[in-house]
């Protein structure tokens, strides 16, 4: 279980990078963290769905949707599959849908907002490349921690 982000900031001020406040917590697991896996996509969640079907124990999928508020990059079916496969959570620089169901899923989910529209599936996107948003670069293999206070990134695993 990850530690609260304020405690991690206090204990490791030189090891954490704090994401600008723009995200809202939607998942059934309000405090989560793990190793970063990235997906870069724009209004196409094909790679999100594909990765959620893989084992994700100890990992958080960081999805750079370009900040688009026009299509949902995560819905209840993908979230349920990710939880079933052991993913710790998602950080989505974009929107999600099926908020009530996702709120009951044992998965951390932070996103910019919600919209009921699904994406088109074109199979377009990039997997495990560094992505930057909120003033922070998320590099695959680094660590991310998230709760109702915010989101932190560190090159090292943090524990109190």
Is-contact 139 57, C-beta < 8 A?
no
The pLDDT value recorded for residue 137 is 98
pTM: 0.97
What separation in angstroms does the CA of 26 have from each of 31, 49, 59, 100, 147? 11, 18, 18, 8, 10
CB-CB neighbours of 141 under 10 Å: 10
Condensed to tens digits (0 to 9), the pLDDT of residues 7-66 reads 999 999 999 999 999 999 999 999 999 999 999 999 999 999 999 999 999 999 999 999
CB 69 within 8 A of CB 94: yes
List Cα–Cα distances, 110 to 11, 12, 121, 160, in angstroms.
Answer: 24, 23, 22, 23
- Give per-residue pLDDT as tens, 133-152: 999 999 999 999 999 999 99
The model's confidence at residue 129, banded by pLDDT at 50, 70 and 90, is very high
Query: Is residue 1 predicted with pLDDT exceeding 70?
Result: no
Handedness of CA 18, 24, 25, 27 (dihedral sign): negative
């Amino acid at each position: 279980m990850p530690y609260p982000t304020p405690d991690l900031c206090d204990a490791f001020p030189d090891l954490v990078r704090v994401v600008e406040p723009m995200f809202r917590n939607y998942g059934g697991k309000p405090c989560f963290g793990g190793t970063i896996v990235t997906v870069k996509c724009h209004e196409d969640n094909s790679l999100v769905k594909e990765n959620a079907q893989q084992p994700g124990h100890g990992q958080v999928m960081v999805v750079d949707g370009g900040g688009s508020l026009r299509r949902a990059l995560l819905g209840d079916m993908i979230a349920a599959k990710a939880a079933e496969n052991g993913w710790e959570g998602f950080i989505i620089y974009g929107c999600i849908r099926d908020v009530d169901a996702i709120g009951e899923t044992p998965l951390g989910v932070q996103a910019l907002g919600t919209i009921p529209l699904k994406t088109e599936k074109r199979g377009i996107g990039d997997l495990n490349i560094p992505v930057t948003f909120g003033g922070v670069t998320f590099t695959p293999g680094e660590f991310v921690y998230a709760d109702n206070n915010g989101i932190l990134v560190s090159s090292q695993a943090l524990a109190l």
